Amino acid sequence: MGIPNALITGFTSIAYNVGANRIIFGGNFTSPAGDPDLPLDREKAYRYKILTKALEALSQDVSGPTIFTVDESKEGDK
């Protein structure tokens, strides 16, 4: 048995179809843990939210491929 992995990707449907178990919807496909359209401070806050969601996924059991979406809009405050 391995260790749990949270996959952050802009392509959740691909991740789901190939069977990744903990999938986090990331910013976009060239910047999964960020969003180049945001100003730097807001991008950092967004990255923090993505990681928080990844930690949430890692700290719960899943029965198969499960997609976790960062709450609210893409950006946001900590």
Partner 1 sequence: MAKLKAVHYINQFYAGIGGETMADIGLSVLEEKKGPAIGLEKLWRDEMTVEKIIVCGDNFINDDNNFQSVLPEIKKIIEEVNPDVFVAGPAFNAGRYGVACAKVCDFVRRELGVPSVTGMWHENPAVDMYIRDNYIVSTRETAAGMSKSLPAVAALALKLAKREPIGPARIEGYLPTGHRYNEYHEKIAALRATEMLLAKLNNKPYVTEVPLRGFEAVPPAPKVDDLKTATIALVTTGGLVPVGNPDKIRQAFATDFGRYDMTGLDALKKGVYESIHGGYDTTYASNDPHRLIPLDQMRVLEKEGKIGGTYKYFFATCGVGTNIESSKDMGRRMVEELMSEEVKAAILTST
Q: Is 40 exposed, middle or buried (0-12, 13-18, 19+ CB in 10 A)?
A: exposed
CB of 38 to partner 1, least distance (A): 11
Is residue 7 a contact partner of residue 50, using CB atoms and an 8 Å limit?
no
Q: By CB under 8 A, name the one of 25, 41, 42, 58 that touches partner 1.
A: 58
Size of the site for partner 1 (CB under 8 A): 42
57: burial class by Cβ within 10 Å (0-12, 13-18, 19+)? buried
Out of 41, 59, 71, 72, the residue judged to bind partner 1 by CB under 8 A = 59
Pair of tokens at residue 38: 């945001």
Q: Closest approach of Cβ 73 to partner 1, in Å?
A: 18
Residue pointed to by tokens 């391995």: 2
Binding site for partner 1 (CB under 8 A): 1-11, 15, 17-19, 21-22, 26-27, 29-34, 36, 43-44, 47-48, 50-52, 54-55, 58-64
